Structure 1
Amino acid sequence: MTSTVPVKAAKVTLEIVDTLRQLNGAGVSEIAQQLDKPTSTVYDHLQTLEREEYLVKEGDKYYISTRFLQLGNQARSRKKVFEISRPEVDELAEKTGEHANLMIEEHGLGVFLYKARGSDAVQLDTHAGMRVPLQTTALGKTIMAFRSRSEVEGVLDQHGLPKVTENTISDPDELFNRLDQIRERGYAYDDEERVNGMRCVAAPITNDDGRAIAAVSISGPKSRMQEERFTNEIPERILRCANVIEVNLTYS
């Protein structure tokens, strides 16, 4: 018989790992306080994770180990879209000098699968594996635009519409109006909706049914993403890139 009841010990272990990720390392007491768990319980979990080489200890603090890189790389390599998109994303970054990104949707969140950095790209917090609310990025919005309304409503029920900057969409009616525009246009804009001072253009990578399985984008500082470049040059590059990836996915 299949059980849907979470295993408590496994759940605590995962909560500890996620807390360490958020805090970028922490001691036993800090984690216990953060999770409202007994110090002895947290300590036992930390010891087990360290013994199995999923954590490293430096002084009094524990950190996530590089063993998670192996798991992440294996998960990413299972995504056919990653292998096919990577050279195209690299080319986008090289030709524009900006950040080029590949995103998928997983559990109702946008997951950065790959990022290439051009010669002029500014420092950003994005990295492979980073998860963000879909509506906060051009990538996420273009994925939602090429999904069914019921799927999008499911995402809203699960995660809501958290506001990250003043420009983040936080109203469902506004979101669905914006998704209609994206479908008609074929690509999405992000105008300082996740990071102040940054703009982004994204296009969907769709399957034979027209459903978005991923999205690609170019992001850069607002000062360089202006006028003709923002409204024509970058969108044209993004659409060409998405089309090449779709063709390669179909015939690979």
Structure 2
Amino acid sequence: MAETIQSVDRALEVLIYLEAADQETSITKMASDMGVYKSTIYRTLATLEARGFVRKNPDTDRYWLGNRLFSLGKSVENHLGIQEVVRPSARKLYEAYHETVNVAILERDHDEVYRSVIVLKEEGGHQMLTVNLPVGASVECHSTSGGKCLLAFGRNIDLSVYEKRPLHAYTDRTITSATELRAELEQVRRQGYAMDRDEMEHGLTCIGVPILREDGTALAAISLSGPTSRMLSGDLDERVEAVKRIAREIAARF
């Protein structure tokens, strides 16, 4: 067996443990489960937190994986060509309607706000609206169709965060209360898709559908976005079904 560095090995064990736990976890529980002194776990987490590999919830003093791992994961994803698995379906949806198609995943930032991060985009060369976020950009989930899907179908979502801080209003149509958001997400779960009507930008309407894992939770979300005048021109139901069909097609590949 090759010689290993104990401190590095311990840090990797902590990351693997948190990934398997799939939720924020206390130092006490980690130490107990891993059979390690609390002081050792504390020092390991402090080092990982300083580098962005884990994050601490200031309200609960519990830890989970940090945003730095997303950057590393994206590098691996690009190398392995996972985006190219999704791209043909996203391109198919774009070619059917010639509206912008985004695929996004869920992220929680350092302020504990849930954000929708764009990992793939299909679009034409001409954009009429001002909101045209590039791959890697993120926006608060409550204001977008894809973000709503990620919240409605996400794992271990803590909606109480929206009771502790105001929801940013991008337009006068944006959801700004936790009560309204909860009701909206319940409707998203019932119908299997979400809408954003002028909530991010006036004149922009989006249809979002979750890309589901086998357990029914969202791996990602796909959305079709365009000028409200076109998106609501009479074939909305057809567009919704088209996005749902593409989401199922993508999910079948994972």
TM-score class normalised by the smaller sequence: 0.5 to 0.7
Deviations 1:204-237 (A, max 9, x none): 00101100110001000111111422x3121011
The equivalent of 2:201 in structure 1 is 195
235-244 or 100-109, which deviates more: 100-109
Tell me the number of residue pairs that the alignment of Structure 1 and Structure 2 aligns. 189
Report deviation, 1:118: 3.5
The equivalent of 1:101 in structure 2 is 102
Report deviation, 1:169: 0.7
CA distance in 2, matches of 1:168, 1:89: 27
Q: Select the residue among 239, 243, 252 that pairs with 2:248.
A: 243
Question: What letter matches 2:219 in structure 1?
Answer: I
Q: Please, what is the CA RMSD of the aligned residues?
A: 2.9
TM-score (norm 2): 0.65
Contact 2:197 2:206 (8 Å CA) reproduced: yes
Report deviation, 1:202: 0.7
In terms of fraction of residues, the more helix-rich structure is: 1
CA distance in 2, matches of 1:80, 1:178: 35
Report deviation, 1:127: 0.7
CA distance in 1, matches of 2:212, 2:98: 26
Contact 2:163 2:178 (8 Å CA) reproduced: no
The equivalent of 2:63 in structure 1 is none
124-133 or 214-223, which deviates more: 124-133
Contact 1:165 1:193 (8 Å CA) reproduced: yes
1:156 matched to 2:162: yes
Question: What letter matches 1:161 in structure 2?
Answer: L
CA distance in 1, matches of 2:231, 2:168: 25
Question: What letter matches 1:177 in structure 2?
Answer: A
TM-score (norm 1): 0.66
Contact 1:109 1:131 (8 Å CA) reproduced: yes
1:173 matched to 2:173: no
Report deviation, 1:79: 8.6
Residue 86 of structure 2 aligns to a residue whose secondary structure is: helix
Segments of 5+ residues of structure 2 without an aligned counterpart are 1-39, 53-70, 109-113
CA distance in 2, matches of 1:6, 1:196: 44
Deviations 1:3-62 (A, max 9, x none): 344799979xxxxxxxxxxxxxxxxxxxxxxxxxxxxxxxxxxxxxxxxxxxxxxxxxxx
CA distance in 2, matches of 1:147, 1:186: 13
Contact 1:97 1:121 (8 Å CA) reproduced: no
Change (3 A) 1:8 1:144: closer
Change (3 A) 1:225 1:146: same
CA distance in 1, matches of 2:242, 2:220: 17
The equivalent of 2:88 in structure 1 is 87
The equivalent of 1:56 in structure 2 is none
The equivalent of 2:148 in structure 1 is 141
Q: Identity across aligned pairs (percent)?
A: 31
